[in-house]
Structure 1
Amino acid sequence: MPLTTTGALVARARAARTAVLAFNIITLEHVEAVIAGAESAGVPVVLQVSENAVKFRHGRLRPLARAAVAAAEGAAVPVALHLDHIRTGALLQEAADAGFSSVMYDASHLPYDDNLASTRAAADRAHAQGLWIEAELGEIGGKGGGPARGAHAPGARTDPAEARAFVTDSHVDALAVAVGSVHAMTTRTATLDHELLQRLRASVDVPLVLHGSSGVPDTELRAAVAGGITKVNIGTALNQAMTGAIRDYLAAHPDEVDSRGYLAVGREAMAHTVERISNRLNPA
């Protein structure tokens, strides 16, 4: 079916008091796996390309984006394309022409006033191109190999009063909030601050986004969605599934030289992960 927009999927999820899942993609196998898993679960999905993934692809955004668009157009479920955690104006400028309907502009590492000014400028540019824009307030940590911040470190959690002012003054369409999850977690042991989430939900009138969701247990994740999270980002869980499956395959087939063999099992493992997470988030 035709490519849809992130804004439309998030709005639909918000009206239904659920959340749309957004999975980070790095290779064509990621793209195919995410769509296959979403089709098996019968749910819409967002394909996300991060700035780190673009760097991995020699700084070229369009090859992976065009592959994702082509795959999405053949999908049996609605699929949107989102540009995640960007800090450069060059990528923002490319987004719409490359097929993206939305961007997440990340200036959360900056002091509040600088974050606001930078995000407001990005929001103005994004909206001029017809893009839906997400930003982050509070620092989730763990991105790009950086250390995770302590749960009570200054700025590690999103302040509701700051969030209200930030959303109003920046004109963003969604806000990623720091409530206890951490990027790149390989164990599902994160404990979320649900009381803070309730206060954030009451403070802002835009959808809330949870980053670092690979490390969040099912019960915590469902509670977060019930508490107001409308977009759930997953990345590390896919890479764990792919890498583990490939390791097992190569251990069992030490003489294998055809990459199709191990890439196929890696792709299948990621598809099962997408289906499993989708079904656990939205149990029948």
Structure 2
Amino acid sequence: MLINMKEMLAVADKNEFAVPAFNIGSGAILRGVVECAEENNAPVILAIHPTELEFLGDSFIKTCIDEAHKARVPMVIHLDHGGKFEEILRAIRCGFTSVMIDASHMSYEDNIAITKKVVEVAKVSDVSVEAELGTIGTTGDSYEGGSDIIYTDPKQAKDFIDKTGIDSLAVAIGTAHGIYPKDMKPELKLDLLKEIRDTVDVPLVLHGGSSNPDKEIAESVKIGISKINISSDIKFAFYKKYREVLAENPKWIEPNAIEPPCIDALKEVAKFKMSLFNDIGKADLYR
């Protein structure tokens, strides 16, 4: 069942769970996420970054759309961290049901201007819009970029939502993109999240959610996070297993022999995230 993000997160926000947005960087990863979602009766977001779309091509989105239509659980096809208006237009033309415009690195006024422009175009096609206020950090090993964390200001967040008409807001409360190094100890500002949740009336999104402590992530869902982005963790599990399989079977060349155990490794991590976000079994709420 293919729906847009506004529909997806309205249910999550009301029922206190978060939908995982898994970055889909290949057909094998897509298969693993779709299988895991159906096996666990869990709604899911298929997220694709502009660099992934450039590599995979527009035809890959047709495959995602087909998988979503056939699925027994609700799915969203989402452009993750669109940085240019042209990338947003491409995604809408391809059939994405949700887009993110990330102009958080711009001035506040410019962020409002481009986000408002995206909302005006997207709404015509019933495509939902996510934007970001504040900046997410980076560990330096993620294509999603980032910078030093600039925390989201609750009052500014309300003003931003009022002026742009966005459907969901990515907030900066202490996460970073990528896998954290061992000497990096992330900490979410949950008090800040509570203040933002009490101030705004749209679903909130957590980016860079791969390596934060599970207890903090679970608590953020209880407070009001409705969507959590996961990319590095599932890819790390997939390609770690890939290297092991090739090391044990150096002469193997067939993807249908190499990739199944890698997909299983990915699904194990994806299921854990679904459970952590209270997402398992929630597909029934959309029927």
SS of the residue 2:176 aligns to? coil
**Residue correspondence of structure 1 range 260-279 to structure 2 within 5 A:** 260-279=256-275
Kept in 2: contact 1:23–1:48 (CA 8 A)? yes
Tell me if 1:223 matches 2:222. Answer: no
Kept in 2: contact 1:180–1:192 (CA 8 A)? yes
Kept in 1: contact 2:101–2:118 (CA 8 A)? yes
Aligned equivalent of 2:254, options 233, 258, 266? 258
**CA apart distance, 1:88:** 2.2
| CA distance, structure 1, for counterparts of residue 4 and residue 167 of structure 2 | 13
SS of the residue 2:52 aligns to? helix
**Residue correspondence of structure 1 range 80-91 to structure 2 within 5 A:** 80-91=76-87
SS of the residue 1:231 aligns to? strand
Kept in 2: contact 1:103–1:133 (CA 8 A)? yes
Kept in 2: contact 1:186–1:237 (CA 8 A)? no
Tell me if 1:174 matches 2:173. Answer: no
Tell me if 1:28 matches 2:35. Answer: no
**CA apart distance, 1:50:** 1.0
Letter in 1 for 2:208: G
| CA distance, structure 2, for counterparts of residue 145 and residue 5 of structure 1 | 22
Q: 1:281 to 1:146 in 2, by over 3 A?
A: closer
| CA distance, structure 2, for counterparts of residue 209 and residue 3 of structure 1 | 20
User: Counterpart of 1:16?
Assistant: 15
| CA distance, structure 2, for counterparts of residue 283 and residue 18 of structure 1 | 6
Kept in 1: contact 2:4–2:126 (CA 8 A)? no
Q: 1:220 to 1:94 in 2, by over 3 A?
A: same
| CA distance, structure 2, for counterparts of residue 82 and residue 182 of structure 1 | 20
**CA apart distance, 1:214:** 0.5
User: Counterpart of 1:157?
Assistant: 151
Q: 1:204 to 1:278 in 2, by over 3 A?
A: same
| CA distance, structure 2, for counterparts of residue 121 and residue 5 of structure 1 | 19
User: Counterpart of 2:45?
Assistant: 46
User: Counterpart of 2:67?
Assistant: 71
| CA distance, structure 2, for counterparts of residue 99 and residue 130 of structure 1 | 11
Deviations 1:151-199, CA, capped at 9 Å, x for gaps: 5xxxx11111111111111111110000001111246953100000011
Deviations 1:13-35, CA, capped at 9 Å, x for gaps: 11112211111101111111111
Tell me if 1:236 matches 2:232. Answer: yes
**CA apart distance, 1:261:** 2.1
Structure 1 unaligned regions, length at least 5: none
Query: Normalised by the size of structure 1, how large is the TM-score?
Result: 0.91
| CA distance, structure 1, for counterparts of residue 91 and residue 225 of structure 2 | 25
Tell me if 1:113 matches 2:109. Answer: yes
Q: 1:199 to 1:90 in 2, by over 3 A?
A: same
Question: Which stretch has the larger CA shift, 131-140 or 113-122?
Answer: 113-122
Query: Normalised by the size of structure 2, how large is the TM-score?
Result: 0.90
Structure 2 unaligned regions, length at least 5: 281-287
| CA distance, structure 2, for counterparts of residue 159 and residue 40 of structure 1 | 39
Q: 1:176 to 1:283 in 2, by over 3 A?
A: closer
Q: Please, what is the CA RMSD of the aligned residues?
A: 1.9
**CA apart distance, 1:128:** 2.3
SS of the residue 1:85 aligns to? strand
SS of the residue 2:79 aligns to? strand
**CA apart distance, 1:40:** 2.2
Q: 1:107 to 1:147 in 2, by over 3 A?
A: closer
| CA distance, structure 1, for counterparts of residue 165 and residue 271 of structure 2 | 34
Kept in 1: contact 2:81–2:144 (CA 8 A)? no
Kept in 1: contact 2:146–2:177 (CA 8 A)? no
User: Counterpart of 2:283?
Assistant: none
| CA distance, structure 2, for counterparts of residue 163 and residue 8 of structure 1 | 21
**Residue correspondence of structure 1 range 93-104 to structure 2 within 5 A:** 93-104=89-100
**CA apart distance, 1:87:** 1.6
User: How many residue pairs align between the two structures?
Assistant: 275
Greater relative contact order structure (CA < 8 Å, 6+ sep): 2
Kept in 2: contact 1:164–1:204 (CA 8 A)? yes
Kept in 2: contact 1:218–1:281 (CA 8 A)? no
Question: Which stretch has the larger CA shift, 262-271 or 38-47?
Answer: 262-271
Q: 1:186 to 1:52 in 2, by over 3 A?
A: farther
Q: 1:176 to 1:271 in 2, by over 3 A?
A: same
User: Counterpart of 1:6?
Assistant: 5
